[in-house]
Amino acid sequence: MDYIEVNISNFQHFDPEIVLAQLAELGFESFSESECTLQGYIREDLYKATAVEAYLQQMQAEQGIRYTFQKIPAQNWNALWESGYEPVTVAGKCEVRAPFHVPTAGMQYNIVIEPKMSFGTAHHETTSLMLELMMLEDLKEKRVLDMGCGTGVLAILAYKMQAAKVVAIDNDDWAYANALENMINNDAVRVNVIKGEVSAIPHQKYDLIAANINRNVLLNDIPEYANRLKQHGVLLMSGFYEQDLNQIRVVAEQAGFHYVNHKSANRWVGAKFVK
């Protein structure tokens, strides 16, 4: 799957977080920020050129921002990752690494990820936050659902934490194929990887659901997560910013969840709720 990258600069008198939030509303799912620029990424099939152009033209006229677009072919992501990918350690006990890295001694959990076009290497704050939150739970003999699984890294951790049943779901072809490959690389072949939306969740009750997606999908799907969790089940969510937590919390509490706590990193949030 190819992606569209928008590169935005000249934020001299304007907060880039406002632009980032609007791009997220328009379907952009990943961002990279520096002091002077913001890059946003969206799948080409989800890119609504007219709406994005209209918004950026408005910001250009009102705030003087500059922007460019380029198409990012799938093979370019692979080359970029392979050339610069380094292992990541989360909470001092979980290492996420590529197949060509030597594992670090003393890690409680060692996860091998070859992400290709999928997201979930723990380099992004949302993934590391979710891994950290999951490691605080007792998953032994529990049923776990990784919703929007990407590379499958959260499902793999659940498997390594001795969950009795793990299901991983993603609607993207690349993510589905990549997750299957990563299950093999981690000897997690009993994880059930499914291609689909929230409607594809197998009809059973789960002890924990991990959903690292984006704010709009979470807001839409939280009621269904409530339906699929056992009483006192845990819902871990990330993929949204600190300013979105209140809205997430309101919808979750309306669906029968109790807010427990959250962790933040670079304005991204990982939050825990209990049914």
The reply to whether 61 and 161 lie within a common domain is: no
- Identify which of 45, 69, 65 has the alpha carbon closest to the alpha carbon of residue 57: 65
Query: 10-residue block means of pLDDT along the chain (275 residues)?
Result: 87 76 85 78 89 92 90 68 73 89 91 71 83 97 96 96 97 89 94 95 96 92 97 96 94 97 92 97
The reply to whether 212 and 158 lie within a common domain is: yes
**Residue 160 is assigned to a structural domain of this protein:** yes
The answer to whether the pTM exceeds 0.95 is: no
The reply to whether 157 and 63 lie within a common domain is: no
Tell me which of 40, 72, 104 is where a domain ends.
72
Contact 124, 146 (CB under 8 A): no
Domain coverage including residue 56: 3-72
Residue 176, helix vs strand vs coil: helix
**Residue 97 is assigned to a structural domain of this protein:** no
The reply to whether 43 and 137 lie within a common domain is: no
Q: Chain-centre distance of CA 251, in angstroms?
A: 19
Phi, then psi, of 43 in degrees rounded to 5: -60, 140
Tell me which of 72, 92, 107 is where a domain ends.
72
**Residue 49 is assigned to a structural domain of this protein:** yes
Contact 36, 65 (CB under 8 A): no
The reply to whether 34 and 167 lie within a common domain is: no
- Match 């309306």 to its residue by tokens: 254
pLDDT recorded at residue 187: 95
Count of structural domains, the chain: 2
* Furthest CA-CA distance within the chain: 57
**Residue 249 is assigned to a structural domain of this protein:** yes
Tell me which of 72, 88, 103 is where a domain ends.
72
d(CA 232, CA 6): 42
Count of CB atoms within 10 A of residue 48's CB?
A: 11
The reply to whether 268 and 153 lie within a common domain is: yes
d(CA 103, CA 138): 25
